[in-house]
Chain A
């Protein structure tokens, strides 16, 4: 996959960003008082307001995923005019690459059909015209603003998901690990979360060096740091405890339910590990997984090339996760959300790709999600006069509306004013 990703990503800024990827400046602190911003004077640890809180799996599609390919507006002739080389053929066409209708307006392209069972079961919601209300086409700004939860405010260094964890009681009292990101560094979303670690691959999270002696060395370190000063002591013991905790889970032998098959690539394996973690029931309540490569400036090709392969990975992995964890009203209470920093221009560019746009698609999945539909807010035909700045899908649903409803109703945290300061979310009926 690396080949097409490199070919597809022409944007210099994105290369820069993918090197930085995670915002160094938000590296977290271990002390409550230090991680919580000044505007958060009194933390109210919310008692759960719902009887069963969901675990959240938060997927960030980095690079600016093209919503008009992910959930394509087949009923709109403007779409076909704007994208002669990139449009997904209508579901009623005879084209082998035709999509599958989700309603009278939108369709999934072929590579996204892995998500159709979840959609048909009413557990997958697509949200179109979603995004950041603040106008930015910078990957860096848009990702940062979504992740910290407020646009253009450089004083906030923690992330919305981290603050959710910081302002609610642990689902499992005394849990060793409440949040994790399957990446080498902690993404900004999760920064500030207590008991939260970046764990690139839970199956191989271990102290370096000889596998034969690593348990003995972990023991040695736990003993050595046992009497260290804070905050290093807690950090070290959390690390050793997490090492032991993850070692106790058989990731490699994990057998998905319902015959679910995850793609054998990084994203697929991450979601598979997420399922294993959830089923191990160790008190993890937030899992972040990033999937990159969506910055499709050149040769986007949603029918057979770069975008096709990305969507195939995304659709099949998330679809497998649904089958594995959610299908058949399983006992696992999970809400999965996926979003990108922005969508892409309505019109294709001169390189058979698309440039940075505004409105995009969010996905929300779970037992208690009002799925099986494409949620929009005053969706209009993609005539130029209806486009944002004359070139983009309008942002008609603030991404925070979707997240806030999930946080309040599914994660049981009413501290929305602390998680998204200065914003009053509009509930869009995302949850049942």
Chain B
């Protein structure tokens, strides 16, 4: 087992969590038994957690802590807030700079450098800069990824026999590294978005996902939606994941036929029926894989009977008369799907939700959808509509998902990362291990889904702030302590993590904490950990 990706991830969690993950501090004892081992493995796949929380605006949590626990000591009460004003604090109230708001939306995390770039280029200029991703030099990261995780550059013949866990580790680490350090940050945000939209569980398809990530998602992330969808429809990983490869005349499998309409194009209420699903599954018979990860149309599997999909009738043919050209039946329906107004609406709504707000207005959706329809689904044009200054300035903050959260913390602190698996472990424990979401709808994009699993986020923040291992993750705290006064330290944290827009209340809290011993690197690291753990840093 040793040396497998799972082991490495385990070890990364073990070592990475040594500072951060409660319950693992006693690693020696835990290692004694298999169940504990299993528990750590579970962490790799640990879902985000369901928690508690009825949305009662009550003091239940704090009161619960004060309540005497029968048969035990009185629990330690929490500090009471300085004010009894119970209006929640909106972090965006302090986020006044349009340029910095845009940085938060189109990058994996605000950094001092990106903030300066945005201010220098201006709102429109900064958006243009990142939309022209291929003109941004990202050679260093590209080279590092290709060298370090070389399987990400190889084809199916080279990959099919490689242990799946190894491939998963390489693909995951490459993604995290790019997200954290690539100069093409908007592209990385789009890659994350499309990875969920066209979700594929690598645990089902193995090496095929490596090909899909490179040749579909990354290749077409910033082109047009029709190009991207077509690439996905011809992706061996997708066809395998959604059982298209076992579908054939006489026993069609409806999985892909359903999801291409429900999840990829029209949306669940997009106007198709169960009969359309059944008919499309017949249309797509023959779409399968040949060899090691190569799409092929197999005429021997195709159903040549007459079909009707979305009101379009495909007349009966014969294999003798049509043969391999019967693939065009499916191509034709895909053309219909990408031109459908429901697709324009569905994709626009999802893009708005991802980049802007959980509840885009009908007007916003209609506006982006009209851009889709007039530009042939041009992704960059849609993004300009989504990310208009007016939209961004009026959007409430969104809750970072675990991947975004951990990566944004890494970007803020800019540590030296020698072992990306450590970061992968943090993300996994927080519930969002890349490429392992098992159902085709992709990781959810809602605060409700993710906010319950807060302790791993705090532990991740604590880990990063305390990280000081050259062979794993090393964060140099010295620049934050020059000079080592509370206001200077918190000012440095503000620049690194909040673009200089730290809310005053958070500033006061951090100053109070660090003032106990501002010359102690330990105390300063803890203060930084708290800043990353704070409510404000959970949002973007």
Contacts of A205 in B (CB 8 A): 22-23
Partner among A174, A198, A213 whose Cβ is within 8 Å of the Cβ of B526: A213
A23 touches B53 (CB 8 A): no
CA distance A230 to B79 in the complex (A): 20
Contacts of A20 in B (CB 8 A): 44-45, 203, 436, 438
> Is B132 in contact with chain A by the CB < 8 A criterion?
no
B42 touches A30 (CB 8 A): no
B47 touches A233 (CB 8 A): no
B62 touches A293 (CB 8 A): no
Size category of the A interface is 35 or more
> Is A223 in contact with chain B by the CB < 8 A criterion?
yes
CA distance A173 to B441 in the complex (A): 36
With A22-B42, A266-B35: A227-B86 Cβ-Cβ less than 8 Å: yes
CA distance A176 to B63 in the complex (A): 9
B41 touches A235 (CB 8 A): no
- Shortest Cβ gap from A181 to chain B (Å): 9
- Shortest Cβ gap from A301 to chain B (Å): 16
What total of chain B residues lie within 8 Å of the partner, measured CB to CB?
A: 102
A244 touches B75 (CB 8 A): yes
Partner among A18, A25, A196 whose Cβ is within 8 Å of the Cβ of B51: A196
Contacts of A93 in B (CB 8 A): none
Contacts of B43 in A (CB 8 A): 184-185
In this complex, what residue of A is CB-closest to B36? A266
Chain B, 10-28, CB within 8 A of any chain A CB: 17, 19-23, 25-26
A186-194, A355-363, A371-379 - interface stretch: A186-194
A232 touches B70 (CB 8 A): no
A24 touches B42 (CB 8 A): no
Chain A, 1-20, CB within 8 A of any chain B CB: 1-2, 5-6, 16, 18-20
- Shortest Cβ gap from B114 to chain A (Å): 25
B52 touches A245 (CB 8 A): no
B437 touches A175 (CB 8 A): no
A208 touches B451 (CB 8 A): no
B429 touches A184 (CB 8 A): yes
> Is B452 in contact with chain A by the CB < 8 A criterion?
yes
CA distance A27 to B445 in the complex (A): 12
CA distance A23 to B41 in the complex (A): 13
- Shortest Cβ gap from B55 to chain A (Å): 5
CA distance A216 to B454 in the complex (A): 17
> Is A396 in contact with chain B by the CB < 8 A criterion?
no
In this complex, what residue of B is CB-closest to A140? B438
A225 touches B436 (CB 8 A): no
With A196-B52, A267-B35: A208-B22 Cβ-Cβ less than 8 Å: yes
CA distance A373 to B13 in the complex (A): 45
Contacts of A233 in B (CB 8 A): 88, 535
> Is B113 in contact with chain A by the CB < 8 A criterion?
no
Chain A, 369-391, CB within 8 A of any chain B CB: none
CA distance A28 to B80 in the complex (A): 29
B88 touches A228 (CB 8 A): yes
Contacts of A200 in B (CB 8 A): 23, 39
Contacts of A19 in B (CB 8 A): 6, 41, 44-45, 165, 203
- Shortest Cβ gap from A405 to chain B (Å): 25
With A19-B6, A184-B43, A232-B538: A195-B52 Cβ-Cβ less than 8 Å: yes
CA distance A408 to B460 in the complex (A): 41
In this complex, what residue of A is CB-closest to B453? A27
Contacts of B1 in A (CB 8 A): 6
Contacts of B19 in A (CB 8 A): 208-209
Contacts of B281 in A (CB 8 A): none
> Is A345 in contact with chain B by the CB < 8 A criterion?
no
A185 touches B459 (CB 8 A): no
> Is A281 in contact with chain B by the CB < 8 A criterion?
yes
- Shortest Cβ gap from A397 to chain B (Å): 28
With A20-B438, A174-B63, A226-B81: A186-B462 Cβ-Cβ less than 8 Å: no
Partner among A6, A16, A22, A239 whose Cβ is within 8 Å of the Cβ of B454: A239
> Is A204 in contact with chain B by the CB < 8 A criterion?
yes
Chain B, 521-540, CB within 8 A of any chain A CB: 522, 526, 529-530, 533-535, 538
B78 touches A223 (CB 8 A): yes
A84-92, A126-134, A247-255, A416-424 - interface stretch: A247-255
Contacts of A223 in B (CB 8 A): 78-81, 509
B75 touches A18 (CB 8 A): no
CA distance A279 to B45 in the complex (A): 32
> Is A183 in contact with chain B by the CB < 8 A criterion?
yes
Residue-by-residue, is B489-505 near A (CB-CB < 8 Å gives 1, otherwise 0)?
A: 00000000000000001
B76 touches A244 (CB 8 A): yes
Contacts of A280 in B (CB 8 A): 69-72
In this complex, what residue of A is CB-closest to B199? A25
A293 touches B39 (CB 8 A): no
> Is A146 in contact with chain B by the CB < 8 A criterion?
no
With A6-B1, A232-B451, A235-B51: A22-B45 Cβ-Cβ less than 8 Å: yes
Interface residues of B (CB under 8 A from A): 1, 6, 17, 19-23, 25-26, 30, 32-57, 60-65, 67, 69-76, 78-81, 85-90, 165, 203, 399, 429, 431, 433, 436-439, 441, 443-444, 446-455, 458-459, 462-463, 466, 505-506, 509, 513, 522, 526, 529-530, 533-535, 538
Q: List 12 A-B contacts (CB under 8 A).
A: A29-B452, A154-B439, A176-B64, A196-B50, A204-B22, A221-B530, A227-B86, A228-B89, A240-B78, A248-B69, A248-B74, A292-B35
